[in-house]
Structures are given as structure tokens and as C-alpha cells.
Structure 1
Amino acid sequence: MKSYDVIVIGFGKAGKTLAGKLAKSGKKVALIEKDAFMYGGTCINVGCIPSKRLITDAALSPDASFEEKAAYFKKSIEGKRQLTAALNQANYNKVAQAGAEIIDGVASFVDAKTINVKTADGDLTLTAEQFLINTGSTPVIPNIEGVRDPATGELQAGNKLYTSQTLMDLDELPERLTIVGGGYIGLEFASMFAEFGSKVTIIQDSDVFLPREDEDIVEVIREVISAKGVEVITGAAISAIKDGVVTYTADGATKELAGDAVLIATGRRPNTDELQAEKAGIKMTNRGAVETDEHLRTSVPNIWAAGDVVGKLQFTYISLDDYRIVLDDMMGNRQRTTENRGAFAYSVFIEPPFSRVGLNEKEAKAQGLEYRVLKMPANAIPKAKVLRETEGVLIALVAPNGKILGAQLFCAESHEMINMIKLAMDHDLGYEVLRDFIYNHPTMSESLNDLFAL
């Protein structure tokens, strides 16, 4: 039996950063990872980095025949594989060089200070004073006929079905791609594959497309993706998927939609099935996530959880901030919490990207807040004309006292611009600061001069 000061379960952003930091400080640290292809976590291997690499390539896809586009797609996939392999190894090296011991295996709790690790060479029993659970999330596989294998709960084999991970490992570009689920992941893949040259159809059971967003911004997004050839079918009750054919009922009629590949993009759930958390006394939510407080402590004082596994915001930059909160709770003054990390910004990497921070109108109205709406089209921005990317709209909500309540930017480079608005909101600055700021020219950011002058 080996003993450690800290054991981190999972090689995600929070886990690898904490393991490296504590090991450098002199702590005896072990990091357990069950899949060698996941060193570094979801983001660099099967999430943000490979998908954004492919999205970037897709935007440069040649205006050519489908065969030529397919050849370009194949080269893009190979480039993606090389990138993720390099990052995977670099992340392993960084943690190992910091002094943490990396153990390949599946960890499960025996009690609050002991875990069992199933490795290729047999089981290990390890103890530690403190633990961090950072096991991430996995795609939800819906219980639709032909989709879920009843024995394993995974996707049925040989049925043209893919998750976001496996779709990014295709060697052949599907001529027709059906995406089940109209959330942000599905939307990104729809935009990407349409740019590569696939005929893309999004099909979802909800009657409302992108229900979290305001109707006016959704209308513009839908117009833009429709112009790229993406069809959206809402209010569809899917009964079965077989050999790429989706059978569904809509408007009282049963219909079929044929495709060469079907992406199942119906959300992600926390990876907790193998943890046996109950043996450590860890409370779980009814969705299978690890329950945590504002310091990311679980119900067991010496065990923390971070990242997707807590079932809240599933973004790598949130996981990084989770690391800061956990480190502060372990070794600092316990001032950082999930309650004081400021406004939350996110981007959906369609073309152009959609980015948002703070409240939209729907949420501001629900809270009974007073506000005024500032709105301008992206084609009014000089840099947008330079980039030849004039699609989209910029919207901001400002309170009577001048504070920014939120912003929605659907335009080129919005993923960079949104951070400036978040910074202003986090530091309680009035909109006038962004209105009167001297931006370099020509840039997309200088559009904030005009947006906040309205």
C-alpha cells in the first residue's frame, strides 16, 4: 500500500494543474488516469482544441467539388490527430516533470482515505490525506431504438452513429450528416461540417431552437446557418435510428431522414459510474454529479471535486478556475469561491462565433430589472468589411445606473471581444468606459465605441 499527501483522480484541467502545483511545492502527489489517450483531459484530446482546429480548417475549405472537399477534410483530420497527440504527450510530461506520479488505471473509493486502482498489472491500494475528483463527463446516449446498446449503454456498433469524439476521427467526409440535438455542441458541428461540404440537418425534440437565448439573436443565427445549408427540424419525436435513417414524428406525421452519419449530441453527463463514491460517504446529485459547496468541497471534508464532474458549467476555463478555488481552500485564505468569480462568458464557435456574458433580455425581464437595449449590425463595423465577415449583430443590456448587465455578440472575433466586456462587468465599470476607450484600428473591438454610444 502506497501513501500520498494528495491523490487526483482524472487528468482534466483542474486535476493536472493542481497535481503539478502541489508536487512542485513538495507534496507527494499521485494522478490517476484510466485512459492514456486522455492525458490533459477532454479539452485538448476530444473537445475544445481538436474541434476548434477543425472549425478553423473548415472555414478555409476550398470552393470545389465534394470529392476535393473530402480530400481536404481527410488532411484536416490527420492534422488534428497530430496536434492532439503532441498536446497529450506534452501534458503528461509537464505533470511528470513537476514531480507527480502518474498511474494508469481506474480508481474507485474504498473509504474516505483509500482508493483501489485497477491497472493492467493488477490492483493497487493507495491512501491519501486529500483527494480531488476531476473525472470529467461523457456524452449522454439517449434511449432511442437502435442508438443505445442495451448491454453496455454505449452507442450501437455499426449503425452510422457517432459522438462528438468519434465524429472528429472520421477518415471520410459524410455527404449527409444528421445531428440529433440542437444544443451548442450540435450547433458547432453543424457549422463545421457544412463548411467542410456536408449537407447538415439538425433534428431536436424541443419546439424551440436554442431556448436559452433571446428570440431576436436566435433568428439571426438561424438565418446565417440556413444560408450555409444547415436545416433545423424542431418538435421531432425520434422513435428509431437504423443504418443512418432517423425515424421521427412531427406535425402528426411519421417521417424518415436518411444520412451517411448521425451525430448524437444530446448533452453530457458526469463520469462517476466507476468511482463508488458512496463508499467514501460522498453525496451525489440526482443527476449523478458530485455534490460540492462554494469551495468545491464534497460532503467529505478531505475530498474536493472540480470540472464537469460537479455537473455545472462544462468549460475548460471554468475547470481552471475550479483549480484556483480548490488550491485556495487547501493552502490559501479560502477567499476564492464559486460565488465570487464574476460574470460568466461563453462562446459558440460557429461561423461567425456567438459569444455571450451576463444576462439577456429574457433573463433581465424575469428578474424584473430595468434596462435599455443597445443593438447594432455587424456590417456597420469597418473591420468586419475588411474581413469580409459582415454577418451578425451585437447586443448589450445597460442598467439605468450605467452598469452593463450583459452582452450578446454574434460577429467575427466575438470570442475575443467578449472578454473585455466581462472584465468591465467584473470590475463594476460603467458602459462609458468601453464607449470612450481608445481602441487600435481597424479592429472588431473598436465596435464597442459605437455599440455603447447608441
Structure 2
Amino acid sequence: MAPQTDAQGRFRLSEQNFDLVVLGGGSGGYAAALRAVQLGLTVALVEKDKLGGTCLHRGCIPTKALLHAAEVADNSRESAKFGVRSTFEGIDVPAVTKYRESIVASKFKGLQGLVKARGITVVEGEGRLVAANAVQVGDQRLVGKNVVLATGSYSRSLPGLEIGGRVITSEQALELDFVPQKVAVLGGGVIGVEFASVWKSFGAEVTIIEALPHLVPNEEEVISKHLERAFRKRGIDYKLGVRFQGVTQHDDGVVVTLENGETVEAELLLVAVGRGPVTQNLGYEEAGVTIDRGFVITDERLQTSVPGVYAVGDIVPGLQLAHRGFQQGIFVAEEIAGLNPIVVEDVNVPKVTYCEPEVASVGYTEARAAEKFGADKVSSYEYNLAGNGKSHILETSGIIKVVRVEDGPVVGVHMIGARVGELIGEAQLAVNWEAYPEDIAPLIHAHPTQNEALGEAFLKLAGKPLHAL
């Protein structure tokens, strides 16, 4: 659209009006836009890069493609034990990249088609909140009855630790055209353990450095300990409870120094210490939106301090998960449309870490449940996957831990083992519907499936165990 001028030749902005203007086309933003048009609202969706955001292009989807390639590599190496003859000859990185990019391209094309078919006005460019009801993109002013802020997140670093050269983030890790021989991973959370898992399967030596006492420290402690044992068995090294002090780069690699005096030598250092909100220089504070440490503060209905301005996704304090963003986007669209949607607390959002073995959870850990309901009011049961036929076939080990309130509902489910991410659907229904184990125990779980393990845990808590003492 060409710039417009008034009678005196002065530049003026073109202006368009919508029911809803969404700033950011990632998971939360496009979900809000799609649901809003379903509800009869006119929508403008502003995106400076590509629709789908970090999750589709630099996060969830491409990393899970890498993890699947890693699983195939492991299966190839281990095929003889199943009576299948094969030869593992290494990783063809260009072919892996082609596979990964083809999946992203296909999903991107589908999303573009969906947004177009729904009649959403997509505005390309960097948007800025210039008033409580207006977003400016270049010479365009988009005025909305409501505005949704959904500008996503970026890979954090540590103070004094500059990204560059052999010090990389997950975005650069995805684009590597080689398999490093030796990698140090700073951070034992979700991103760190997933990349560690991929690189180990691809043949690299890996050392994880985590300041807290356990890997995936936000999970149930027994799950973290199982993951640590599994990684040790796979040959993934880790250093827990130690802090990073500095890194020196040289021609052949890096030397990472820890506060306890230890050093770790590697070809690359992956910095995986979490993600920060993208909120600076976008006009939020100038428009009156309250910001705390970079995050947008909202009420439980996701409205900011400015009436009519909402925020969703990674810029809102809490879990930084694409599916949380989807849910929040849908929630806000329905809130604006007057449907009074149900609030889903962060504790009841399912989480999956796609390393080998997988980790999945929803609800309270036993420790948090004890704090909330009282230690004498909480009980739990751990079902070992060694007793599950399908898990035995898959040669995976792990556990399923279910936490309940005594004579009350299931309040937490925590799992580790191959493919347990696919079990989280039933678990999150049990937790969110506040189901009692006695309600679930009579339901039939197909045999032989890993899903039976959940059924066995519910049977035990209901007082009628089958394949457990």
C-alpha cells in the first residue's frame, strides 16, 4: 500500500478497522485469530517473519523431526537383537536436514492455506502497539476493538556469555551441517536434554552442565532420577549442582570452566538456559501495559492492565509451551466473544520432553500436592514399566507415578519411558476432570499397550491391583 498524504502533502497513515488485531503469528497468535474468525469477528494478524513462529520453524516441529531421526539411528544400531539385519553407516546430515525442512514446509503451507481460507487479513512487517486499540505496521495503522499481544520468546543466555562462534543456541544447533564430535550443553532442562539426546544418537560425546541438583528439575524428583540413570546408561555425561563460570573459544573448540574449578572441553557449547519474552521496543509500556522482568502481566482472563488488550503465549509468565499458547489464544478469542471460557491453570497443562526416554507429566508433583492439600492427605503409586507387556516389547524401562488426594481425585501423573508422551492425553483428562481412581479403574485399557500401565496405576490406587502387589 502506497503512503498517503493530505492536502498539504504531509504523510499520513492508512487506517483499517477490525474487531481484533493480533500482534504475532506464532502458536498463540494464530490460534486466537483462527478462533476469532470462527466466532464471526474480523481479524488482522501481524507477523514480521513467518506464520507459525518459533514452534513451527525453529522449535517444536523441527526438533522433533531431529529426535525421530535419532530414534531411527538407534533402531538401526540395535536391530540385530530383534533379528533384523542392517548396517548403520552414520548420519547423512544433508538428508536429515532435507527431511526436517520438508516437514516444516508442509506444515507451513497448510497453515498459510488455513489462514487464507478463514479470511484473516495477514499483515507482514514489524508491528508496534501505538495506542490501547491500535498497532502500527510501517505506514499502516490497524485499529481493533480488542488487541492480542503474542510476540513470543527468544533464546536466553547468561550475563556475560555472548552467543557467537562455537557458542550457539538451539536455533543455530538446528542449522548445523555436521555432527559435532563432542558437545557441552549448558542447561539440563527440556531443550538441553532433547539436543543432548539427539547428538548422542548421532554419535557425539555429550556433557550436560546443570546448576540445579537434577536434570529436568521442574519434574517429579523420581522421574528426574530415572532420566539421569537412563542417560548414564546411554553414555551421556552430566554435571549437576555446578555453576557455569566462563568459556574460552579456540580454533578447534571451547573450554568451559565451572565455578568448582572443573573444565569441560568440547567442539561446541550449546546454551540452553531457557527463553525470554520478546516485549522490548514494541510500545507496550508506552501504551500502559504493565511489564515485569520483560513479561506482560495479565489477570486470570489474560487481560493486561489496559482494558481490551490481552496477551498470550511465551510473553505471559508461566509455562512456555506451544500448546499452552494455542489454548490461551482460543481462550482469549472466546473471552472477547463473550463465551466466558474455563480457565486452565498452568499446573494442569500437560508437558512432554522428547528425549530418549521421554518424560511426560501433568498436575501436581507429590511435594507440591502435599503443600497444597497437606502431607497426610496425599498418596501416590509408582507403576514400573517392567510389568507392562508393550514396554517389554519396546525394551523401554521407566515408571508411571500417579498422585491423588486421599479419598479424592487424581491431582498429578508423571511418566518416563519410550513414547509416554502419547499417554498424556488420558492423564490430563483425569487431572483436569478431577477424576477419582475409582472412576477410572473400571474402564478398559486395550492389551497389549503402554496405556495399560496407566490403567494398572489407577487400579492400584482404587484398591484392586491386577499385575501389581
TM-score, scaled to structure 2: 0.86
**Residues 113-147 of structure 1: per-residue CA shift (max 9 Å, x gap):** 233224xxxx4333222211111111112223xx4
SS state of the match for residue 70, structure 1?
A: coil
Match of 1:130 among 133, 137, 146: 146
Alignment-derived partner of residue 263 in structure 2:
256
Distance of 2:329 and 2:128 partners within structure 1: 22
Distance of 1:250 and 1:128 partners within structure 2: 51
Match of 1:384 among 378, 391, 398: 391
Map 1:24-423 to 2 at 5 A.
26-35=40-49, 38-61=50-73, 62-63=76-77, 68-71=89-92, 73-118=93-138, 123-144=139-160, 147-148=161-162, 155-156=163-164, 159-234=165-240, 235-243=242-250, 244-251=253-260, 253=261, 255-285=262-292, 287-339=293-345, 343-367=348-372, 368-369=374-375, 370-389=377-396, 391-423=397-429
Distance of 2:145 and 2:433 partners within structure 1: 37
Distance of 2:305 and 2:266 partners within structure 1: 47
**Residues 298-356 of structure 1: per-residue CA shift (max 9 Å, x gap):** 111121111111132211111111122212211123243345x8823211111121111
Distance of 1:110 and 1:221 partners within structure 2: 47
Alignment-derived partner of residue 32 in structure 2:
18
In the alignment, residue 347 of structure 1 is paired with which amino acid?
A: V
SS state of the match for residue 410, structure 1?
A: strand
1:39–1:89: 8 Å Cα contact kept in structure 2?
Answer: no
**Residues 147-177 of structure 1: per-residue CA shift (max 9 Å, x gap):** 42xxxxxx22xx2122112211211111111
Deviation of 1:111 after TM superposition, in Å, equals 1.8
Distance of 1:96 and 1:289 partners within structure 2: 31
Distance of 2:385 and 2:294 partners within structure 1: 42
1:205–1:238: 8 Å Cα contact kept in structure 2?
Answer: no
Distance of 2:34 and 2:219 partners within structure 1: 38
How many residues in Structure 1 have an aligned counterpart in Structure 2?
432
- State the identity as a percent: 28
Residues 249 and 141 (structure 1), Cα distance of their counterparts in 2 relative to 1, 3 Å cut: closer
**Tell me, which stretches of 5 or more residues in structure 2 are unaligned?**
1-13, 79-85, 461-469
1:21–1:98: 8 Å Cα contact kept in structure 2?
Answer: no
Residues 427 and 114 (structure 1), Cα distance of their counterparts in 2 relative to 1, 3 Å cut: closer
Distance of 1:362 and 1:178 partners within structure 2: 31
Distance of 2:306 and 2:34 partners within structure 1: 23
1:412–1:444: 8 Å Cα contact kept in structure 2?
Answer: no
SS state of the match for residue 286, structure 2?
A: helix
Deviation of 1:221 after TM superposition, in Å, equals 0.9
Alignment-derived partner of residue 83 in structure 2:
none
Deviation of 1:442 after TM superposition, in Å, equals 0.9
Deviation of 1:66 after TM superposition, in Å, equals 12
TM-score, scaled to structure 1: 0.89
SS state of the match for residue 60, structure 1?
A: helix
Deviation of 1:25 after TM superposition, in Å, equals 5.1
Distance of 1:344 and 1:178 partners within structure 2: 31
Deviation of 1:213 after TM superposition, in Å, equals 3.2
SS state of the match for residue 294, structure 2?
A: coil
Residues 25 and 395 (structure 1), Cα distance of their counterparts in 2 relative to 1, 3 Å cut: closer
Distance of 2:38 and 2:430 partners within structure 1: 34
1:66–1:197: 8 Å Cα contact kept in structure 2?
Answer: no
Distance of 1:18 and 1:136 partners within structure 2: 14
2:128–2:135: 8 Å Cα contact kept in structure 1?
Answer: yes
Match of 1:450 among 431, 456, 467: 456
Matched, 1:2 2:26: no
In the alignment, residue 31 of structure 2 is paired with which amino acid?
A: T
Q: What is the RMSD of the two structures over their aligned residues, measured on CA atoms? A: 2.3
SS state of the match for residue 232, structure 1?
A: strand
1:178–1:263: 8 Å Cα contact kept in structure 2?
Answer: yes
Distance of 1:160 and 1:46 partners within structure 2: 19
Alignment-derived partner of residue 425 in structure 1:
431
Higher alpha-carbon deviation: 239-248 or 324-333: 239-248
SS state of the match for residue 381, structure 2?
A: strand
Distance of 2:361 and 2:88 partners within structure 1: 37
In the alignment, residue 9 of structure 1 is paired with which amino acid?
A: L
Distance of 2:353 and 2:450 partners within structure 1: 17
SS state of the match for residue 179, structure 2?
A: coil
